[in-house]
């Protein structure tokens, strides 16, 4: 039976999950949704989904369940914990976790699923909340080939780019490598633009120079013109979440005995931003953090 013919559970309707679940609903998938916040559940119901009172009810009604949860702690509790999904799901149920969590927790998910007669896929999300709303997410998938083939139509409904990274756990590990570069880029960009502001340089000209050399990067060229440089620091991906991911990255690197001194320094910079109240802002707002700290005008440009 194809994914289109099955009832799909969706647990976790935050900034990313809400948009992706909406894409599935609009594209004809039968959805049962659950979240601790009633507002996104009501929104999904307006699109044709059915609400479930608990993860247990989702497990009882669905053969494929998607989870998008804040940390590994919630993944453990919701899926594998007492009264979690695995305590109520039918044998053979497939759980696809889209969360960004510790590799060790992803490994546990695959191991426990196999031991208890279930199937697991790790498919963390690339790109930002506005991509999710538009069905333009990117996914990095770790799974057995047959399980990947089964969930691929769902991933195609939610995104435009799907990378099969290998067996269980490879998706999560690929995500950490990707986020390492994305988050570090924000810190580097913030420092560079603060320096440009202190020098009194024309920002448009400075950006033209940067984008014409190998100094440029995707955050500065694609994301920042729509966010902090336009004065929009409403979160697509918060400074708090970036700090969380840097903590995951450093923990995983420590476990693998890979030194990451730049990641350690960047995490402390993000810690400083959080301590000053910027944690809920978009991670591009690190540019504002640096300019405010140096008491110079924030980097803004009307046309980039």
Of 136, 129, 76, 128, which is closest to residue 101 (Cα–Cα)? Answer: 76
CATH number of 3-168: 3.40.50.720
Task: Please list the active-site residues.
Answer: 175
Phi-psi region of 4 (alpha: psi -120 to 50; beta: other; left: phi over 0): alpha
The answer to whether domain 174-294 has CATH 1.10.1040.10 is: yes
Biggest CA–CA distance in the chain, Å, is 64
Find out whether 297 and 291 touch, Cβ atoms under 8 Å.
yes
* Intervals of CATH 1.10.1040.10 along the chain: 174-294
Cα–Cα dist 149/146, whole Å: 5
Give start-end residues of each CATH 3.40.50.720 domain in the chain. Answer: 3-168
- Tens digit of pLDDT at every position of the chain (304 positions): 677 679 999 999 998 999 999 999 999 999 999 999 999 999 999 999 999 999 999 999 999 999 999 999 999 999 999 999 999 999 999 999 999 999 999 999 999 999 999 999 999 999 888 899 999 999 999 999 999 999 999 999 999 999 999 999 999 999 999 999 999 999 999 999 999 999 999 999 999 999 999 999 999 999 999 999 999 999 989 999 999 999 999 999 999 999 999 999 999 999 999 999 999 999 999 999 999 999 999 999 975 3
């Amino acid at each position: 039976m194809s994914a289109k013919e099955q009832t799909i559970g969706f647990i976790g309707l935050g900034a990313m999950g809400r948009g992706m679940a909406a894409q599935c609903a609009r594209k004809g998938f039968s959805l049962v949704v659950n979240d601790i916040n009633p507002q996104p559940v009501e929104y999904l119901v307006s699109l044709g989904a059915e609400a479930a009172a608990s993860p247990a009810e989702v497990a009882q009604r669905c053969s494929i369940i998607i989870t998008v949860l804040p940390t590994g702690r919630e993944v453990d509790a919701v899926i594998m914990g007492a009264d979690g999904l695995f305590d109520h799901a039918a044998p053979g149920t497939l759980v696809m976790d889209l969360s960004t969590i510790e590799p060790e927790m992803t490994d546990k998910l695959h191991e426990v699923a196999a031991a208890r007669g279930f199937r697991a896929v790790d498919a963390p999300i690339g790109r930002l909340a506005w991509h999710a709303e538009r069905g333009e997410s990117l996914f990095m998938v770790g799974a057995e080939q047959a399980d990947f083939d089964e969930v691929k139509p769902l991933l195609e409904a939610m995104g435009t780019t799907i990378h099969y990274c290998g067996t269980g756990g490879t998706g999560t590990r690929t995500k950490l490598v990707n986020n390492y570069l994305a988050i570090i880029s924000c810190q580097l960009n913030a420092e560079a633009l603060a320096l440009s502001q202190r020098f009194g340089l024309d920002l448009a000209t400075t950006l033209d120079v940067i984008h014409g050399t190998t100094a440029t990067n995707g955050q500065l060229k694609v994301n920042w013109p729509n966010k902090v440089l336009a004065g929009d620091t409403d979160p697509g991906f918060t400074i708090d979440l970036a700090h969380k991911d840097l903590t995951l990255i450093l923990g995983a690197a420590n476990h693998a005995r890979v030194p990451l001194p730049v990641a350690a320094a960047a995490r402390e910079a993000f810690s400083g931003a959080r301590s000053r109240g910027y944690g809920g802002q978009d991670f591009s707002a690190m540019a504002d953090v640096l300019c405010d700290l140096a008491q110079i005008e924030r980097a803004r440009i009307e046309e980039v």
